[in-house]
Every structure is written in structure tokens, then in C-alpha cells.
Amino acid sequence: MKTLGAIQVHQELNPKIWASADQIDPIVRNKLLTLAGRFYQFLKVPTAVRDVIVTGSQAGYTYTDLSDLDLHIIVNYGDVECDQPVDELFDTKRKLWKENHTITIRGIPVECYAEDLERPVKGSSYSLIKDQWIREPQQVPAEDDDVSPQVSAWITVITAAIRTRDIEQLDRVKSLLKHYRQAGLAQQGEMGSANMTFKTLRNLGAIAMLMTAHRALEDRSLSLAN
């Protein structure tokens, strides 16, 4: 194993989850499919499941002890009729599920999502229904660029925004960071410098610090003193 910034880069997929580079552990697969079925029942939305996938760091070579296992139920948002944006509906459902469940697979926390068929994930992903890779994970080449300058720059931006105690400034930094990662994934892939920078910031706690500061300011704005 080597490190890239604060990212751990492994030579093999997590053996707690994967039987080989080509196939997930069948016991893990069955348990995840059962979990996906329960999560689908919880959603209570009459739309067909098109696939169930595993994605994120645990479907690649950059997992850490803090990495969640991302379990995505794939549905067609266009089939869902509701009075609010479908992505907001499913995000609310996801948060409610998370508040009421703590589910782990061999010690790894599982995050459940309902994602749109028309917006496939950018990184590596494995279909639990087909039991095969949709997009195989990329090994990190030996000549990877150092992400330290980008990480340092973002930490400076995040710290400065927090010090302003201005929620609009924090909103702008959150939006910039989200766009930076999304554009990097689209242009460079999951092993590109933008995604590695984002993961390093997350592992260092910088993103959590930003989110905590934002929530504190939001709560203060909604509070009444005396």
C-alpha cells in the first residue's frame, strides 16, 4: 500500500468485500441484495428497480478504514410522479433511513441511495444483479501527480470562508468544491487529481469542518435569543 496525500492506495480490492478482482464475495452480495430490497420497500415509490450497484471507494483501490460502502438502487426518475423534485424526495428518504438504521458489512458502514438510471455514476461500479463490473476500477499509476498543492489551496479557501462566519460565503465554497469534483470526475475519472484532492480533504476532516460550520450558522440564523 502507498499513500497519495491522505489517500491510501491499495494493490487489491478490499478482501472483506471482494472474492477477487473480478467478483464480489457471494455472501456479501446476497446480504447487500437483501438490504437493497428492504430499502426499496422503505422508499414506498412505485417504480421498478433497474439495477443494484456497489460504487465509491469500496469498489476501488482507494478505500480506507473510514470509507463507507455505497449501495445504489437504480430506478428511472421519469417513472416517479410526485409534487416535489424526485431527487429531493429520494434524498429525504435516504436521510430518514440513515437516521434510523446503522447497517454494516463486516464492519463497513453501508450508505443506501436511490439513483437515476439516466445519470450513471462516474466512477467504478459493480452490478449486484448481473454479478459483474459495469465499470472496472482503475489502478493508480506509479507516476501519479502530487495532490498536496491542491489540498493546501482548498484548505486555505475553506478556512478563510469559515472565519468570515458568512453563510453565503460557505455556500459558495460548498458549490465550488462540488463543481470541482464533478468536473474532475467527468474529465479525469476517479483517479484524477480533482477526485483525489476531494478525498484527501474529506479524510483530513476539512469537508466535515466546512459542513459543521455551515450547519452552526444555519441553526443560529433560525434561533431566537431572549
Question: What pLDDT sits at residue 204?
Answer: 72
Question: Across all residues in the chain, what is the average pLDDT?
Answer: 86
pLDDT digits (tens, 9 = 90+) for 10-25: 889 999 999 999 999 9
- The closest alpha carbon to 193, from 184, 203, 202, belongs to 184
Residue 158 has pLDDT above 80, yes or no: yes
Residue 79 has pLDDT above 90, yes or no: no
pLDDT digits (tens, 9 = 90+) for 179-220: 999 888 888 887 788 888 888 888 777 888 888 888 888 888
Of the chain, the percentage scoring pLDDT greater than 70 comes to 92
Other Cβ atoms less than 10 A from the Cβ of 150: the count is 20
Confidence of residue 143 (pLDDT cuts 50, 70, 90): very low
In the structure grid, which three cell numbers stand for residue 136, read together? 472496472
Distance CA 181, CA 159 (A): 19
Q: List the domain boundaries for the chain.
A: 2-135, 148-222
Question: What pLDDT sits at residue 141?
Answer: 54
Question: What pLDDT sits at residue 210?
Answer: 87
Question: What pLDDT sits at residue 142?
Answer: 47
Question: What pLDDT sits at residue 131?
Answer: 97
What is the helix (H) or strand (E) element at residue 95, kind and residue range? helix 86-100
